[in-house]
Amino acid sequence: KARREQVAGLVGIAAAPDFTDWGFNEEQKLRLLREGRLEEPSPYSDQPTVTTRAFWESGGANRVMTGPIAYDGPVRLLQGHRDEEVPWQRAPALAELFRSDAVQTWLVKDGDHRLSRDSDIALIVRAVEDVLTLCSSRS
């Protein structure tokens, strides 16, 4: 937001803006406030996922889904339909807020949060190339 003129294009992968509004239940929020950190088992590592109060407060202070997003460049939002971390409905809701008409939401029906299979990586690369092509054609 601070350097919008320097952003030529955006690619979001399981984008989770405003996660402080929807990503934590009341018990988790209270623990963060009371203890200053939240440790939970990670489905991706043997180490816990750690969320600190400072990280959570920073997320809350940087909400973007409160109204229109004044951005006119190309945007590609990739989201796994089977994502257990970020509800897939977040991607089209976010897409709707961008002022730009060059916004596309790519939903991978059998994709999870990581979108890390070879076919997912190929789709991510395609999204980046697509945005780069659009950026170069606008210059």
pLDDT digits (tens, 9 = 90+) for 69-114: 999 999 999 999 999 999 999 999 999 999 999 999 999 999 999 9
Using one digit for the tens of pLDDT, what is the confidence trace for 3-29?
888 899 999 999 999 999 999 999 999
Please give the model's pTM, rounded to 2 decimal places.
0.91
Each residue of 103-120: b (16+ CB within 10 Å) or e?
Answer: bebbebeebbbebeeeeb
The contacts of residue 61 (CB under 8 Å, 6+ apart) are none
